[in-house]
């Protein structure tokens, strides 16, 4: 699992590459736990190269979402593969998180 951070003015984009499981979730957790992430208005998660997610990966996002909301930081997922979106759907997380098809929609969200 590789996480690449691309900061811009008020937006941080995180590109996820690989499989997010109980072994690799710590890499993403470390990135999302950084205090200065709350200085951004938006955190965009580019899921184009995220080929797998388990409950441990979902747990990382769930554990930080309220902290982001409390700080008025919007968390937006985009470019998600269908099989990965399906995992969010099975738990009903697609209704509780912002998941959009493309970068354009993520920037507008």
Partner 1 sequence: MKSALRIACSRANLQQVRDFVRNYLNARQLSEKAVNQVVLAVDEVVANFIIHANGEDETQFLDLKLDFDDHDLNVEIADNGDTIFQPGPHKDPDMRAYIQEGRKGGMGMTLVTRLMDRVEFFTRGNHTVCHLSKHLA
Compare residues 2 and 7 and give the one whose CB is closer to partner 1.
2
Least Cβ distance, residue 24 to partner 1 (angstroms): 9
Instruction: Give contact residues for partner 1 (rule: CB under 8 A).
Output: 19, 21-23, 52, 54-56, 58-60, 62-67, 82-83, 86-87, 90-93, 96
To partner 1, the closest distance from the beta carbon of 8 in angstroms equals 27
Of 101, 60, 79, 104, the C-alpha closest to 15 is 79
Whichever of 4 and 23 has its CB closer to partner 1, that residue is 23
Residue 103's SS3 state is helix
> Could you tell me which of 22, 20, 67 has the C-alpha nearest to residue 40?
67
Q: Shortest distance, CB of residue 63 to partner 1, whole angstroms?
A: 5
φ and ψ at 50, to 5 degrees? -85, 110
* Cβ neighbours, 10 Å, residue 51: 14
């Amino acid at each position: 699992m590789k996480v690449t951070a691309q900061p811009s003015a008020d937006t941080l984009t995180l590109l996820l590459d690989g499989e997010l499981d109980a072994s690799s979730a710590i890499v993403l957790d470390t990135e999302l736990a950084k205090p200065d992430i709350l200085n951004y208005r938006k955190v965009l998660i580019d899921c184009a190269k995220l080929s797998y997610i388990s409950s441990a990966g979902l747990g990382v996002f769930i554990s930080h979402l309220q902290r982001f909301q409390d700080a008025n930081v919007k968390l937006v997922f985009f470019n998600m593969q269908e099989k990965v979106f399906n995992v969010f759907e099975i738990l009903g997380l697609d209704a509780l998180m912002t998941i959009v098809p493309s970068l354009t929609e993520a920037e507008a969200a």
